[in-house]
Amino acid sequence: MAMATKKTSPFLFLVLLFSTFVAPALAAKKTYIVYLGAHKHGKEATLLDYELATDSHYELLGSVLGSEDKAKDAIIYSYNKFINGFSAVLEEEEAMAIAESPNVVSIFPDKKAKLLTTQSWDFVGLERGGRVPVDSIWSKARFGEDIIIATLDTGVWPESQSFQDEGMGPVPSRWKGSCQNTTKEAKGITCNRKLIGAKYYYKGFEADGSIKPSLLSARDSLGHGTHTLSTAAGRFVPGANTFSFAAGTAKGGCPNARVAAYKICWSTLMGGSCTDSDMMAAIDDAIHDGVDVISMSLGKDIALDYAEDAIAISTFHAAANGIPVVLAGGNSGPATYSVTNVAPWMITVAASSIDRVLSSDVILGNGMRLEPSH
């Protein structure tokens, strides 16, 4: 008895044929961070040292991908100054292969961090009733004169009065940073003796999705970075208020400090986010540029293992070079284990109470006024 032959659907045949050719091309690629520890070159490294470090990254990845040319195409950042490592767009199998190298400390997927007043300084005792006592730490520290504070955030709005430089002296000679203005589409940043640096980092964000060329600037389009930078070191600005609320003189914790904005966070449907790969590049540059303090109001949903936490790794290198890093404790709580950024080399700041209430009357359509109860 002859065996019956089952006919294959032409449609099914085409699907199988198509999948045969495209399956290899559809292998999922994503950005990984390869951390190699510290560099052999010291603080007095030259441009040649940086080039040699980058070449070693190409060589290492090229040994897995088959050529250094492929490695150059895959790498989006080479961390060649103080942090030793690189970020590259890889398939999972390629990431697993490079993880076998004895030179690799850790390798992990590029993740995103989330973006986490006139009365505050009176509340913590730096001033009393709007006046600065002679025994205040503000007076003793000359309001942070010539300290260079960097923020990693959404950039800066340079026209803000918080960053005007009236009465400030020359920029400290130790400063190696710059004001990055390379995009024709975006309105540039003008630095001065107060705002002495502004850079932007987008390659990690671009590799993860898309970004409009018009946004490629250190200029702040969300407001978060301008807010945090002015909170850290904004100058005295009298008459500040929001719709007549919280009226007073706005100023930062170090009004006489110099500031530098490193834009690593970009607009998203959820407000704003920042990739680890961009953040590591910014911190590597900030250490090299000569900042004295780094402030970061961003973090993850949960605390991670240090070896796979780009924030912990980067801030460790900053601390190792004498730069304290101040980070937000997070927006979650009050449940236990809700604080992130908890590595022992970080200064983690969390919110507390404050000694005032902002309230307003409600006036109904019939003219009745309802006053708030406190």
Q: What is the pLDDT along the chain (374 residues), one digit of tens a residue?
A: 444 444 445 554 444 444 444 444 446 899 999 999 999 998 889 999 999 999 999 999 999 999 999 999 999 999 999 999 999 999 999 999 999 999 999 999 999 988 875 456 566 667 666 677 777 777 777 767 888 999 999 999 999 888 999 999 999 999 999 998 755 545 678 899 999 999 999 999 888 776 765 578 899 888 889 888 988 888 877 666 666 666 667 777 888 899 999 999 998 766 678 999 999 999 999 999 999 999 999 888 877 889 999 999 999 999 999 999 999 887 776 777 778 888 999 998 876 666 566 667 788 888 888 877 65
Q: How many residues does the chain have?
A: 374
Q: What is the CATH number of domain 113-349?
A: 3.40.50.200
The CA R_g of the chain, rounded to the nearest whole Å, is: 25
Q: Which long-range contacts (CB under 8 A, 24 or more apart) does 142-147 make?
A: 142/256, 143/254, 143/255, 143/256, 143/257, 144/233, 144/253, 144/254, 144/255, 144/256, 144/257, 145/256, 145/257, 146/172, 146/256, 146/257, 146/258, 147/233, 147/254, 147/257, 147/258, 147/292, 147/293
Q: Are 69 and 55 in contact (CB under 8 A)?
A: no
Q: What is the per-residue pLDDT for 356?
A: 60
- Looking at 3.20.20.120, 3.30.70.80, 2.10.60.10, 3.40.50.80, the CATH number of the domain 27-109 comes to 3.30.70.80
Report d(CA 342, CA 42) in Å as an integer: 28
Q: What is the per-residue pLDDT for 361?
A: 77
Q: What is the per-residue pLDDT for 1?
A: 40
Q: What is the per-residue pLDDT for 182?
A: 54
Contacts of 6 (CB under 8 A, 6+ apart): none
Q: What is the per-residue pLDDT for 22?
A: 46
